[in-house]
Amino acid sequence: MVAARLPVEDLEKHPQLARDIKKTCRIRRKTWLRRSRRAFQSKKNLRQGQESINSKIALLKNALVESQVDPAQTSAALELITDEAKKLRDEAEEHKINVAQTNAFVTHDDLDGSLVEQVAELQNDIQEKKRLQAETEKVLELAPKVELISQSLQSMPSQLPTTLDEQQTLLEDMEIKKQNLQNLISSMNDAPAAEELKQKSEWDLSRIKDLLQQLGSAVGDKLAALAAFNAARREAEEKLLTITADATDKPLTAEQAQADENAIAALEEHIKTLSVEELDENERREYADLLARLQNASQVLEN
């Protein structure tokens, strides 16, 4: 500061001071040039980094679109894109910090400060793709199960079985298929890939419900008749067993014999009221055999 206020002629009187001032100016000029070069180089590097990040964003966006081309490779591709996007996010955040560090030599107003937000948007797009892919994979997993039920329906004969056992077996099978199909439909999501499968499943479900209705009409009366016959048969067999046991232990009294005879007659009359026409062939044979056993027991008691 003192040297700066000295007239030139005074500096001539102080050559050492003049040399010191000249040296100081030279050092300051070099320092300024060095700092300015660094600042310009730093901005150049920031611009190159910005271009690199923009290029990587474009590449990852393109890769995200292409990942849908081959569904079998989509999951692996999305994981790779996810990893690359995370690295790019770190790079963009570091770039944003550097852009915020301004100096007296250059400004960073012309640099893009939204790269972090752009990468974040890309990451959101990736997550959405992964969500849709997971839903698609779930649909692909359900499809064979739906197809299996569909094929079993297609292979069914056009006419319902005629025997009660076969009808009951089919009824149970259709109930199981209905429940399975309802569970599959409820587990489907709203992904575009699920729409076609859901429509197919609902159509198959309607077919199953129609079959169940037909089977219900065919089997309903038969099941009621069979239940009544089974109950009557159990009661008759228990009574016949009791009569046989009593006769084996000791001779029946007149009152016991009459009571047994009345019970047998009541059972015989009740069994005759059952809807025999609703029974299957096997049940009809058992029905006739049971009546014969009751009639035989009644004759034995009478004698």
DSSP the chain: -HHHHS-HHHHHH-HHHHHHHHHHHHHHHHHHHHHHHHHHHHHHHHHHHHHHHHHHHHHHHHHHHHTTT-HHHHHHHHHHHHHHHHHHHHHHHHHHHHHH---SS---TTS---HHHHHHHHHHHHHHHHHHHHHHHHHHHHHHHHHHHHHHHHTS-SSPPSSHHHHHHHHHHHHHHHHHHHHHHHH--S-HHHHHHHHHHHHHHHHHHHHHHHHHHHHHHHHHHHHHHHHHHHHHHHHHHHHHHHHHHSPPPHHHHHHHHHHHHHHHHHHHTS-GGGS-HHHHHHHHHHHHHHHHHHHHHH-
Q: Decide which of 115, 133, 151 is a domain's last residue.
A: 133
Alpha carbon distance 51, 47 (integer Å): 6
Tell whether 154 is covered by a domain: no
Radius of gyration of the CA atoms of the chain, in A = 48
If asked whether residues 42 and 96 sit together in one domain, one would say yes
Tell whether 147 is covered by a domain: no
If asked whether residues 129 and 169 sit together in one domain, one would say no
Tell whether 239 is covered by a domain: yes
Judged against a pLDDT cut of 80, whether residue 189 lies above it is answered with no
Domain range for 21 is 2-133
If asked whether residues 286 and 196 sit together in one domain, one would say yes
- Total domains in the chain come to 2
In this predicted model, what pLDDT tens digit does every residue of 139-170 receive, in sequence order? Answer: 888 888 888 888 888 887 777 787 877 887 88
If asked whether residues 103 and 168 sit together in one domain, one would say no
If asked whether residues 186 and 272 sit together in one domain, one would say yes
Over pLDDT 70: what percentage of the chain? 82
If asked whether residues 128 and 170 sit together in one domain, one would say no
If asked whether residues 98 and 178 sit together in one domain, one would say no
Closest C-alpha among 229, 238, 235 to residue 279 = 229
What global pTM score does this model have? Answer: 0.53
In this predicted model, what pLDDT tens digit does every residue of 107-117 receive, in sequence order? Answer: 667 777 788 89
Tell whether 60 is covered by a domain: yes
Tell whether 261 is covered by a domain: yes
If asked whether residues 91 and 175 sit together in one domain, one would say no
If asked whether residues 124 and 201 sit together in one domain, one would say no
